Amino acid sequence: MANVEQPVAHPSGASTISVLMPRAEGLVIPFAALLAGSLAFSLFLLLVGKSPVTFFGLVWMAGFSTAFSWQNTLSQVAPLLFAALCVALPARLGLVVIGGEGAIVLGGLAAGVAGTQATGWPPAAGLGFMALCAMALGVGWIASIGALRIKRGVNETIASLLMAYIAIALFNHLVEGPFRDPASLNKPSTLPLTEGLRIGEMPLISAHWGVLVGILACIACWVLIERTTLGFAARIAGDNLRAAQVQGLPVGRLVVGFTALGGAFAGLAGFFEVAAVHGSANGSLIAGYGYTGILVAFLARHNPLAIIPVAILLGGFAASSGLIQRRMDLPDATILVFQGMIFVAILLSETVYGRFKIFTPAYWEVR
């Protein structure tokens, strides 16, 4: 490269590569961790007498090889994008909020109930109303966790998980009681949405609009965190809460704001599940997207842009679960085990940051 030949261009002797390599660290290490987790899982498969080659072949086939498999994968991606944002945004402030499942479920319920009120409205108004209700509930649910943390010092991890259990109990109570469609016998549901309030598929790609909205939300969050003063303040607060307070940053408002935003996205996940997939709020909403979203966010190292490819990857894993069960005679929890091993590997990889000289600018400076 031309730049390498004239390293004195920068006072410290930095060249393009000495700028790029430290950034590469954040890409290489998660990839290596993903690989290590996959290797550990392959070993596990060998131990139970199954072929890892068949397994990964099926994941490729069912998740990524054809237009049909992409359709399956993308159908999982929208809720994962939103659920991961609900983890990643508070995480940038140093908060581990992992109860997004509760906000998804209640957001879906709010959307379903709002939809029954909006029958006969113009579709745009009805859908907007449903989305607003879903987001409002998500905001209330997750922002209150942030507020409890700031006002009362309540541990947000435990509080958010407890609230997820409460949300699901509340959801079951409401769907089987006050909001139940009397015609839904075996599977208690809210009244089915009218045709105008259903969200269809995007042109060309056979995936619903939630995928696009989710991707746009990730990009917007990246801009917010990396390119605005608000995001800058949040990053400072996430690095060192005390320093941020000393600097006079509004830490409390940042925490509540970021948890609120995360909650809004979790609510949207529920909205799209109801309006685009299920057609009414019912038990299918409790699908564990909130928990897979935790893994997506951690794998992406809470970088909203990285969430997009990671969600597609994990969406593909989830989409291949059915085929793996049938072809390899493995239980449905196989994907859970795989996810768990990747999760442990990615967290373990946190310890190797800064240990490789190759990723430091100094290594590439002229010696």
Q: Does 47 bind other proteins (CB under 8 A)?
A: no
Least Cβ distance, residue 253 to other proteins (angstroms) = 15
* Token output for 327: 């072809």
Least Cβ distance, residue 304 to other proteins (angstroms) = 19
Count of residues binding other proteins (CB under 8 A)? 46
Interacting stretch for other proteins, rule CB under 8 A, among 56-64, 104-112, 158-166, 207-215? 158-166
Footprint on residues 174-233 left by other proteins (CB under 8 A)? 176-177
Interacting stretch for other proteins, rule CB under 8 A, among 25-33, 121-129, 171-179, 301-309? 171-179
The binding track of 242-281 with respect to other proteins, each residue x by CB under 8 A or -, is ----------------------------------------
Q: Does 33 bind other proteins (CB under 8 A)?
A: no
User: Contact with other proteins (CB under 8 A): which of 56, 129, 343, 363?
Assistant: 343
| Nearer to other proteins (CB atom), residue 11 or residue 177 | 177
Footprint on residues 317-336 left by other proteins (CB under 8 A)? 330-336
Interacting stretch for other proteins, rule CB under 8 A, among 199-207, 275-283, 290-298, 359-367? 290-298
Q: Does 147 bind other proteins (CB under 8 A)?
A: no
Q: Does 159 bind other proteins (CB under 8 A)?
A: yes
Interacting stretch for other proteins, rule CB under 8 A, among 53-61, 71-79, 268-276, 289-297? 289-297
Q: Does 150 bind other proteins (CB under 8 A)?
A: yes
Q: Does 96 bind other proteins (CB under 8 A)?
A: yes
**How far is residue 171 CA from its own chain's centroid?**
22
Residues near other proteins, by CB under 8 A: 96, 98, 148, 150-155, 157-159, 161-163, 165-166, 169-170, 172-173, 176-177, 291, 294-295, 298, 330-341, 343-344, 347-348, 350-351, 353
